[in-house]
Amino acid sequence: DIQMTQSPSSLSASVGDRVTITCRASQSIDIYLSWYQQKPGKAPKLLIYSASSLQSGVPSRFSGSGSGTDFTLTISSLQPEDFATYFCHQSFSTPLTFGGGTKVEIK
Amino acid sequence: EAQLVESGGGLVQPGRSLRLSCVASGFTFDDYGVHWVRQAPGKGLEWVSGISWNSGSIAYADSVKGRFTISRDNGNNSLYLQMNSLRSEDMALYFCAKARGYKWPLYYDAFDMWGQGTMVTVSS
């Protein structure tokens, strides 16, 4: 099974900060990596698919990059509504797997 | 408005069975793969199972293989998860999720629509 390791597990940031979250796969997954945002008590929301493609309706301050084993989600200017938990997810092979999550908190 | 609505969760004793359902509306259900993803209280996301648009491809997480069965009824826009021999570690909020790709394989894809989840509690 492909293991997905996210870092950091949590971070504190201020509105307007640039935030970067990383995800590392235990083997190459090409570009088959997506990112989700989850707020408490809510279902996850797709932000990025195929490593760098922005899902329709998602603000352009979110961006993704990477291929192979190393990936990054960047929020260029953190907004109040962005405080949430973020998960990466590989769909290169089954069983599909998720990273452990990164909780973004208010500093 | 396109949506997924899960049902069937509840309190069940260890070793017993439960069947979850997910009803889709607002999109052409039989053109897309669908999956079950669960989240234990306070924990991360765990993929459970997925089924392709035509039921031709099915996969399970190792943790549920042999105990859970996924199926779909395209005529009724419905997805199901039959869960047998339930364990305490199966206790979680179960989401159904729609694959993004049109008539795509189970892999190489992302989940672009999620239901609100149905809670499964396993306890004696």
For the ranges A64-68, A83-87, B102-106, which has the lowest average pLDDT? B102-106
* Record: contact B45-A93, CB cut-off 8 A: no
For chains A and B, count residue pairs whose Cβ atoms are closer than 8 Å. 69
* Record: contact B111-A46, CB cut-off 8 A: yes
Alpha-carbon gap, residue A1 to A34, rounded angstroms: 17
* Record: contact B111-A34, CB cut-off 8 A: yes
Kindly report the nearest CA distance between residue B101 and chain A, in angstroms.
Answer: 11
Mean pLDDT of A47-64: 98
The three-state secondary structure class of A82 is helix
CB neighbour list of residue B79: distance below 8 Å, 6 or more residues apart: B21, B22, B24, B34, B36, B51, B70, B71, B72, B96
Contact B61, B91 (CB under 8 A): no
Q: What is the per-residue pLDDT across B20-63, written as a single tens digit (0 to 9) for each? A: 999 999 999 999 999 999 999 999 999 999 999 999 999 999 99
Please list the helix, strand and coil fractions of chain A in percent, rounded to the nearest 5, in that order.
Answer: 5, 50, 50
Tokens of B78: 């419905």
Per-residue pLDDT band for A88 (boundaries 50, 70, 90) equals very high
| Residue A5 CB coordination number (10 Å) | 14
Q: Among A19, A22, A20, A25, which residue's Cα sits nearest to residue A6?
A: A22
* Record: contact B114-A92, CB cut-off 8 A: no
Tokens of B45: 């996301």
Model pLDDT, residue B106: 85
* Record: contact A49-B110, CB cut-off 8 A: yes
Alpha-carbon gap, residue A95 to B123, rounded angstroms: 27
Task: Identify the helix (H) or strand (E) that includes residue A79.
Answer: none
Q: Measured between beta carbons, which residues in chain B are less than 8 angstroms from residue A5?
A: none
Of A43, A55, A98, the CB nearest to B115: A43
Nearest CA in chain B to A57: B112
Per-residue pLDDT band for A107 (boundaries 50, 70, 90) equals confident
Model pLDDT, residue B112: 97
Kindly report the nearest CA distance between residue B73 and chain A, in angstroms.
Answer: 23
Q: What is the per-residue pLDDT across A11-40, written as a single tens digit (0 to 9) for each? A: 999 999 999 999 999 999 999 999 999 999
Pairing of strands B58-60, B45-51: antiparallel
Per-residue pLDDT band for A75 (boundaries 50, 70, 90) equals very high
* Record: contact B110-A101, CB cut-off 8 A: no
